[in-house]
């Protein structure tokens, strides 16, 4: 069977959701489960979060929404990253709610919309400073001066913060002010906005003024925070473990793995792990990362291969094939977090979690 597994603590997910709920009170929670629930496995995670009190789910793509519907999940699902015209009929068939990021998208959805008696619910996205998806302020104000398509029902107005996790709060506060301004303009124009939302995890932790009617936590549900936040009691939900496949004693001067980028400087005990970049264990960790074995953090030596990684286990005289090696998670008193892996490979915890390959089995545990 598979020697490398990803373990997910369902209790940690529930705990983290409670931390969101504790902060936002009665505000509705859209649990962001895109990218296979940040690598945690979308269907079990979505079920757990909905049972624990999340009101809606957020995915990036139509295919992600389809996977949830095929698993029998009936909760409202928001497709966050836009929609192409050819996907509209499937979107409606699956009862998914699109985010429309432009006037063209609104007109397109309006043309394909449902009968006036049962208009298609949509969320509009406005760009308040991120310069990514979304109507500009001028486009939105222009839209307020035109007729709303009768085949669509505006359910939400959303935006996204570019720098909620930045040390300085100015950028996020300026975006919040622009968002409020657009909500006021909608109200003045008589366009009812049932649900306004802008807050991601960092905003939930730092800016109570960002809560509006819904919040969209992603990262914090999985137990991590980004940037300077007030102390948050979150529990990382994911551990990633493998087992040593082979132990090899080599002399000094021995090159290790492709290209021999590491050469032993003394007689060494190498341990070979059956995990590699095809599993999402980034090649950028080559000669930089660490792995927990026997409660000690030992270095990765040489290049990470597609399916194999070599570590220097010389500090562990009794190391054996079959011994557990923790890539992410705890072993005894030692721990490696997604933030550690991110620092070693010069990225962010989001990417570390999302890149864990679907080829690895996910095992769901209660504490």
Ligand X SMILES: Cc1ncc(COP(=O)(O)O)c(C=O)c1O
Torsion, CA 125, CA 126, CA 128, CA 129, rounded to 10: 70
Q: Is there binding between residue 172 and ligand X (CB under 6 A)?
A: no
Instruction: Kindly report the number of other CB atoms within 10 A of residue 190's CB atom.
Output: 8
Please list the residues that pair with 242 across neighbouring strands. 325
Q: Write the binding mask 131 to 170 for ligand X: x where contact by CB under 6 A, - elsewhere.
A: -----------------------------x----------
Q: Which residue has the tokens 């906005």?
A: 193
Q: Which is nearer to ligand X, 54 or 220 (CB)?
A: 220
Regarding 314 and contact with ligand X (CB under 6 A), the answer is: no
Q: Is 61 exposed, middle or buried (0-12, 13-18, 19+ CB in 10 A)?
A: middle
Our answer to whether residue 34 is catalytic in this structure is yes
Nearer to ligand X, 23 or 160 (CB): 160
187 is catalytic: no
Query: Among residue numbers 173 through 212, which ones bind ligand X (CB under 6 A)?
Result: 200-202
Q: How many residues bind to ligand X according to rule CB under 6 A?
A: 11
Q: With binding defined as CB under 6 A, does residue 223 bind ligand X? A: no
Cβ distance to ligand X smaller for residue 178 or 296: 178
* C-alpha to C-alpha distance for 84 and 104, rounded to whole angstroms: 11
Distance between CA atoms of residues 125 and 136, nearest Å: 9
Exactly one of 222, 258, 277, 364 is catalytic; which is it? 258
Site string for ligand X, 36-75 (x = CB under 6 A): ----------------------------------------
Terminal Cα-to-Cα distance of the chain (whole angstroms): 24
Cα distances from 72 to residues 34, 78, 304, in angstroms, run 17, 16, 39
Site for ligand X in 247-266 (CB under 6 A): none
Quickly tell me which residue has 């035109």 as its tokens: 146
Q: Does 129 bind ligand X (CB under 6 A)?
A: no
| Binding positions for ligand X, rule: CB under 6 A | 32, 80, 160, 200-202, 216-220
| Residues annotated as part of the active site | 34, 258
């Amino acid at each position: 069977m598979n020697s490398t597994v990803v373990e997910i603590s369902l209790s940690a997910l529930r705990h983290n959701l409670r931390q969101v709920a504790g902060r936002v009170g009665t505000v509705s929670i859209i649990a962001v489960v895109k990218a296979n629930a940040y690598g945690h496995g979308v269907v079990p995670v979505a079920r757990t979060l909905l049972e624990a009190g999340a009101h809606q789910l957020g995915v990036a793509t139509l295919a992600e929404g389809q996977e949830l519907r095929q698993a029998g999940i009936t909760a409202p699902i928001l497709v966050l990253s836009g929609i192409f015209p050819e996907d509209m009929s499937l979107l409606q068939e699956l009862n998914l709610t699109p985010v429309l990021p432009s006037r063209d998208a609104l007109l397109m959805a309006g043309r394909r919309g449902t009968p006036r008696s049962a208009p298609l619910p949509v969320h509009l996205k406005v760009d308040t400073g991120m310069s990514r998806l979304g109507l500009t302020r001028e486009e939105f104000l222009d839209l307020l001066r035109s007729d709303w398509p009768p085949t669509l029902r505006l359910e939400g107005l959303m935006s996204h913060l570019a720098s909620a996790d930045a040390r300085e709060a100015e950028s996020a506060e300026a975006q919040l002010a622009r968002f409020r301004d657009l909500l006021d303009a909608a109200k003045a124009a008589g366009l009812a906005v049932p649900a306004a939302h802008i807050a991601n995890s960092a905003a939930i932790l730092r800016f109570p003024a960002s809560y509006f009617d819904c919040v969209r936590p992603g990262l914090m549900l999985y137990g991590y925070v980004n940037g300077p936040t007030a102390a948050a009691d979150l529990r990382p939900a994911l551990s990633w473990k493998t087992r040593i496949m082979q132990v090899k004693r080599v002399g000094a001067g021995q090159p290790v793995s492709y290209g021999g980028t590491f050469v032993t400087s003394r007689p060494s005990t190498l341990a070979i792990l059956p995990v590699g970049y095809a599993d999402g264990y980034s090649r950028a960790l080559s000669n930089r990362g660490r792995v927990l074995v026997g409660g000690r953090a030992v270095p990765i030596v040489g290049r990470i291969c597609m399916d194999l990684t070599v570590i220097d286990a010389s500090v562990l005289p009794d190391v054996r094939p079959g011994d557990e090696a923790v890539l992410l998670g705890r072993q005894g008193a030692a721990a490696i977090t997604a933030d550690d892996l991110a620092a070693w490979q010069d990225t962010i915890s989001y990417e570390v979690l999302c890149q864990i390959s679907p080829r690895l089995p996910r095992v769901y545990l209660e504490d």
